[in-house]
Amino acid sequence: MVGVVERLAAIVGPAHVLTDGDLTAAFETDWTGRWRGRCAAVVRPADRDQVRAVLHLCNSEGVAVVPQGGNTGLVGGAVPPDGAVVLVTTRIREIGSLDEVAGQLTAGAGATLGAVAAAVRGSGWEVGIDLAARDSATIGGLVATNAGGARAVRYGPMRSQVAGIEAVLADGSVVSRLAGLAKDNTGYDLAGLLTGSEGTLAVITAVRLQLVPAAGLRVAALVALPSTADAVALVSRARRALPGLLAAELFHESGMQLVLGHASLAHPFGAPGAGAYLLLETSDPADALAPLLDGFDDALLADDEAGRTRLWQHRERHTEAINAAGVPHKLDVSLPIGRIAAFEDRCLALVGDRARVVLYGHLGDGNLHVNLLGPAPDDETLDEAVLRLVIEMDGCISAEHGIGRAKAGLLPLDRSAGDLAAMRAIKRALDPAGILNPGVLFEDARQT
DSSP states of 403-420: -TTTTGGGHHHHS-HHHH
Q: Rounded to an integer, what distance in angstroms lies between the CA atom of residue 228 and that of residue 153?
A: 18
Work out whether 431 is an interface residue with ligand FAD (CB under 6 A): no
CA 122 to chain centre: 26
When asked if residue 318 is in the footprint of ligand MLT (CB under 6 A), the reply is yes
CA dist 181 and 188 (Å) reads 15
* CA dist., res. 248 & res. 131, Å (int): 13
**DSSP per residue, 43-103:** E--SSHHHHHHHHHHHHHHT--EEEESSS--SSSTTSPPTTPEEEE-TT---B---BTTTT
One residue of 437, 439, 442, 445 binding ligand FAD per CB under 6 A: 437
Backbone dihedral angles phi then psi of residue 135, each to the nearest 5 degrees: -85, -5
317 counts as binding ligand MLT under rule CB under 6 A: no
Determine, following the binding rule CB under 6 A, whether residue 144 of this chain makes contact with ligand FAD.
Answer: yes
Residues 393-412: x where in contact with ligand FAD by CB under 6 A, - otherwise, as a string = -------xx--x--------
Cβ nearer to ligand MLT, comparing 284 with 400 = 400
Residue 131 near ligand FAD by CB under 6 A:
yes
Query: Contact between 369 and ligand MLT (CB under 6 A)?
Result: yes
Beta carbon of residue 136, minimum distance to ligand MLT (angstroms, whole number): 13
Rounded distance, CA 389 to CA 366, Å? 15
Of the pair 361, 439, the CB lying nearest ligand MLT is at 361
Restricting to residues 54-93, name those near ligand MLT by CB under 6 A: 74
Phi-psi region of 165 (alpha: psi -120 to 50; beta: other; left: phi over 0): beta
Task: Count residues near ligand FAD (CB under 6 A).
Answer: 38
CA–CA separation, 70 vs 112, rounded Å? 8
**Smaller CB separation from ligand MLT, 12 or 220:** 220
Say whether residue 203 binds ligand FAD (CB under 6 A). yes
- List the single partner that 34 binds among ligand MLT, ligand FAD, none, CB under 5 to 8 Å by kind: none
Question: Per rule CB under 6 A, is residue 145 in the interface with ligand FAD?
Answer: yes
C-alpha–C-alpha distance, residues 255 and 48, integer Å: 42
User: Applying CB under 6 A, does 71 fall inside the site for ligand FAD?
Assistant: yes
The C-alpha atoms of residue 139 and residue 127 are separated, in whole angstroms, by: 11
138 binds, among ligand FAD, ligand MLT, none (CB under 5 to 8 A by kind): ligand FAD
Contact (CB, 8 A) for 61 and 4: yes
Q: Which residue in the set 54, 74, 206, 211 belongs to the binding site for ligand FAD (CB under 6 A)?
A: 74
In whole angstroms, the minimum distance from the beta carbon of 369 to ligand MLT comes to 4
- In the beta sheet, which residues pair with residue 221? 280, 301
When asked if residue 132 is in the footprint of ligand FAD (CB under 6 A), the reply is yes
Q: Does 319 bind ligand MLT (CB under 6 A)?
A: yes
- Residue 109 touches ligand FAD, criterion: CB under 6 A: yes
* Shortest separation between residue 439's beta carbon and ligand MLT, angstroms: 22
Provide the b/e sequence for 313-346 (b: ≥16 CB within 10 Å). bbbbbbbbbbbebbbbbbbbbbbebebbbebbeb
Nearer to ligand MLT, 203 or 279 (CB): 279
Q: Minimum Å distance from CB 82 to ligand FAD?
A: 16
Q: Are 361 and 322 in contact (CB under 8 A)?
A: no
Kindly tell me which of 283 and 319 has the beta carbon lying closer to ligand MLT. 319
Identify the helix (H) or strand (E) that includes residue 302: strand 299-302
> Residue numbers of the site for ligand FAD (CB under 6 A)?
31, 66-74, 77-78, 89, 109, 131-133, 136-138, 140-142, 144-145, 147-149, 198-199, 203-204, 319, 400-401, 404, 437, 440
> Residue numbers of the site for ligand MLT (CB under 6 A)?
74, 132, 318-319, 330, 332, 369
